Amino acid sequence: MKRLKIGAASIRDVAQAAGVSVATVSRVISKPDYPVAEATRQRVRDAAQQLGFTPNALARGLARSRTDTIGIVVPGITNPYNAVMVEAIDREARENGLRTLLGLTSGDEDRREEVIEDLVSRRADGLIICASAADHRAGRTPAQLGVPAVLVGEQPNPGFPMVKTDNHRAGYQATEYLWSLGHRSFIYLTTRESWHDFHQRGEGMQAFLSSRSERHVLEICDGLFGEVDAYRRISEACSAGLSATAILASTDRHALGALAALTDAHLPVPAGVSVMGFDDYVTSGFIRPSLTTMQMPVAEMGRTAVALLCDVLGGKPAEHETLFNAELIERGSTATVADAP
């Protein structure tokens, strides 16, 4: 092992030489009684001695110096939307010389708090917190968090830079498009009201319909958490005699569940019922019929979040809200109503 002069080595050098994590080096050196295998403890001590690393150097390293690491907080990665977001953030971070740490919350408030605290304790320089739901501490401020953070998705936390899509406008535009095809009877598939983005899409839908003087019908099916729930609800509607001619789903996941239910009920899409979603998953263009959807600029939002965080870390002011617009992607699951009034 190459010997360095005293004080030249960093805690990361010791961790690499000993074959352990930075956190293990920190705990072994700062806490003599820290429970760790004796062989591991000795490797850390030997590496520190050979590299000339001292507790004073550890103290300097534990100060709020840069680690060139950012944390990503996200509900999960089984959802294609979140997976694309995480990949875009990670790629942009690497292009800016940053590494990423991933924390999954499963949409649970307590778990989310644990993930954030863990990433802060690991000395992440900053955080990108992706949510769009009330699974977070509403009163948290930038000063309370202790590290810079950028929020992705609608979140009720003032003072943080936020990147989001204009979901109200997207819902309005989606409904306007279906209306132009002659549809006057709608079902909206969504989850709980606490999921802000989905709720705002529904508000946009209702805003458009409220602006029309012509008679129309809207049924809101809420409390749905994915394909299974959407499939069940539309299957029940089909069994009862489905009257709606258009189903607008708050995500492509809900739309896929609806398409499966309609297929199993032998109701043709789009000849009998038009189906439309939001997000534009990579699979949505390859099912049959291919899914009409409102495309959310997920990757661009992720890249923008990293750019904003880099600005904050560099001492530059960051916009407190960056708003994107969705784009209508018209495919085979929607069509004009044959007997439109």
**What's 178-222 look like in SS3?**
HHHCCCCEEEEECCCCCEHHHHHHHHHHHHHHHCCCCCCEEEEEC
Least confident of 117-121, 168-172, 331-335: 117-121
Both tokens of residue 119?
């990433």
55 pLDDT above the threshold of 90: no
Band (195; pLDDT cuts 50, 70, 90): confident
Residue bearing the bigger pLDDT, 71 or 154:
71
32 pLDDT above the threshold of 80: no
Residue 216: which of 184, 241, 186, 253 has the closest Cα? 184
The secondary structure element, H or E, covering residue 240 is: helix 227-240
54 pLDDT above the threshold of 70: no
Per-residue model confidence as pLDDT tens digits over 72-88: 999 888 888 899 999 99
pLDDT given at position 340: 41
CA angle 192, 161, 252 (to 5 degrees): 35
State mean pLDDT over 235-256.
Answer: 96
Residue bearing the bigger pLDDT, 2 or 110:
110
Q: d(Cα 71, Cα 57) in Å, to the nearest integer?
A: 25
pLDDT exceeding 70 applies to what percent of the chain?
87
- In this structure, are residues 1 and 50 in contact, taking their beta carbons and an 8 Å threshold? yes
Amino acid at 126: G
- In this structure, are residues 119 and 73 in contact, taking their beta carbons and an 8 Å threshold? yes
CA angle 158, 115, 278 (to 5 degrees): 65
Q: d(Cα 147, Cα 131) in Å, to the nearest integer?
A: 18
6 pLDDT above the threshold of 60: no
State mean pLDDT over 47-52.
Answer: 83
Cis, peptide link before residue 297, omega less than 30° from 0: no
pLDDT given at position 4: 36
Indicate the CATH number of 11-62 among 1.10.287, 2.40.10, 1.10.260, 1.10.3470: 1.10.260
Residues 6 or more apart in contact with residue 104 via CB below 8 angstroms: 74, 75, 76, 77, 115
Band (113; pLDDT cuts 50, 70, 90): confident
Domain boundaries along the sequence of the chain: 11-62, 69-166+298-325, 167-296
Amino acid at 62: L
3-state secondary structure 107-159: CCHHHHHHHHHHHHHCCCCEEEEECCECCCCCCCCHHHHCCCEEEECCCCCCC
Strands in 246-249's sheet, in edge-to-edge order, are 217-221, 185-189, 246-249, 274-279, 292-295, 327-329
Domains 69-166+298-325 and 167-296 share a fold: yes
pTM for the model stands at 0.77
12 pLDDT above the threshold of 90: no
Q: d(Cα 244, Cα 185) in Å, to the nearest integer?
A: 5
What letter would DSSP give residue 245?
S
Indicate the CATH number of 69-166+298-325 among 3.40.30.10, 3.50.30.60, 3.40.50.2300, 3.30.460.10: 3.40.50.2300
E strands within the chain?
69-74, 99-104, 126-130, 149-152, 162-165, 185-189, 217-221, 246-249, 274-279, 292-295, 322-324, 327-329
C-alpha distances (whole Å) from 239 to each of 48, 233, 250, 262 are 71, 10, 22, 10
Residues 6 or more apart in contact with residue 131 via CB below 8 angstroms: 73, 75, 112, 151, 152, 153, 155
Least confident of 32-36, 42-46, 301-305: 32-36
Q: d(Cα 21, Cα 227) in Å, to the nearest integer?
A: 40
Band (3; pLDDT cuts 50, 70, 90): very low
246 pLDDT above the threshold of 70: yes
CATH class of 167-296: alpha beta
State mean pLDDT over 234-260.
Answer: 97
pLDDT given at position 127: 95
pLDDT exceeding 90 applies to what percent of the chain?
57
Query: φ and ψ at 46, to 5 degrees?
Result: -65, -45
Per-residue model confidence as pLDDT tens digits over 145-188: 778 999 998 877 778 899 999 999 999 999 999 999 999 999 99
pLDDT given at position 193: 75
Residue bearing the bigger pLDDT, 174 or 341:
174
